[in-house]
Amino acid sequence: MTIGKILIANRGEIALRIHRAAREMGIKTVAVHSTADADAMHVRLADEAICIGPPAAADSYLNIPNIISAAEIAQADAIHPGYGFLSENARFADIVEEHNIIWIGPDPEHIRTMGDKVEAKRTAAKLGLPLVPGSDGPVTTTQEAEAVADRIGYPVLVKAASGGGGRGMKVIADAAALAPLIAQAKAEAKAAFGDDTVYIEKYLSEPRHIEFQVFGDGHGGAVHLGERDCSLQRRHQKVLEEAPSPALTAEVRAAMGETVRAAVAKLKYRGAGTMEFLYENGQFYFIEMNTRLQVEHPVTEAITGIDLVREQIRVASGLPMSVTQTDVRFAGHAIECRINAEDAATFAPSPGRVTDYLAPGGLDVRVDSALYAGYRIPPYYDSLVAKLIVHGATREDALRRMARALEEYVILGVKTTIPLHQALMDDPAFGRGDYSIKWLERWLAGRAAEAI
Task: Render 237-288 in DSSP notation, one character per residue.
Answer: EEEEEEES-TT--HHHHHHHHHHHHHHHHHHT-EEEEEEEEEEETTEEEEEE
166 binds ligand MV4 per the rule CB under 6 A: yes
Residues contacting residue 416 through CB under 8 Å, at least 6 positions apart: 339, 340, 341, 342, 344, 350, 385, 386
CA 302 to chain centre: 16
> Which of the residues are catalytic?
292
Q: In whole angstroms, how close is the CB of 33 to ligand MV4 at the nearest point?
A: 30
Of 92, 199, 203, 439, the one binding ligand MV4 by CB under 6 A = 203
Closest to ligand MV4 by CB, 17 or 209: 209
As measured in angstroms, the least distance from the Cβ of 236 to ligand MV4 is 6
Do 78 and 101 meet the contact criterion of CB atoms below 8 Å apart?
Answer: yes
Query: Exactly one of 13, 188, 227, 288 binds ligand MV4 (CB under 6 A); which one?
Result: 288
Judged by CB under 6 A, the chain residues 211 through 240 that form the site for ligand MV4 are 233, 236
Q: Site mask, ligand MV4, residues 98-137, x = CB under 6 A? A: ----------------------------------x-----
Reduced to 3 states, what is the DSSP secondary structure of residue 122? Answer: helix
Q: Does 342 bind ligand MV4 (CB under 6 A)?
A: no
* 165 part of the interface to ligand MV4, by CB under 6 A: yes
Report the alpha-carbon distance of residue 74 to residue 107 in Å, rounded. Answer: 24
What 8-state DSSP symbol labels residue 204? Answer: P
Shortest distance, CB of residue 212 to ligand MV4, whole angstroms?
Answer: 14
Alpha carbon distance 301, 323 (integer Å): 13
**Contact region for ligand MV4 (CB under 6 A) — 190-198, 199-207, 218-226, 327-335?**
199-207
The least distance separating ligand MV4 from the CB of residue 290, rounded to whole angstroms, comes to 9
For the purposes of burial, counting CB atoms within 10 Å of the CB of 334, is it exposed (0-12), middle (13-18) or buried (19 or more)? buried
Among 172, 204, 385, 390, binds ligand MV4 (CB under 6 A): 204
Answer for the pair 216, 273: CB distance below 8 angstroms, yes or no: yes
Question: Which of helix, strand or coil describes residue 229?
Answer: strand
- Is 275 among the residues that bind ligand MV4 (CB under 6 A)? no
Q: Contacts with ligand MV4: how many residues (CB under 6 A)? A: 15
**198 near ligand MV4, judged by CB under 6 A:** no
For ligand MV4, the closer CB: 242 or 288: 288
* Span from 23-31, 198-206, 397-405, 408-416 in contact with ligand MV4 (CB under 6 A): 198-206
Dmax (CA) for the chain in angstroms is: 63
Q: Count other Cβ atoms within 10 Å, centred on residue 266.
A: 15
Q: What is the 3-state secondary structure (H, E, C) of 312-332?
A: HHHHHCCCCCCCCHHHCCCCC
- 233 or 350, CB closer to ligand MV4? 233
Q: How far is the CB of 434 from ligand MV4 (least distance, A)?
A: 16
- 36 in contact with ligand MV4 (CB under 6 A): no
**Minimum CB distance to ligand MV4, residue 275 (Å):** 12
Tell me the closest approach of the beta carbon of residue 207 to ligand MV4, in angstroms: 6
241 lies in the site for ligand MV4, by CB under 6 A: no
How far is 4 from 257, CA to CA, in rounded Å? 34
Interface with ligand MV4 (CB under 6 A)? 132, 157, 165-166, 201-204, 209, 233, 236, 278, 287-288, 437
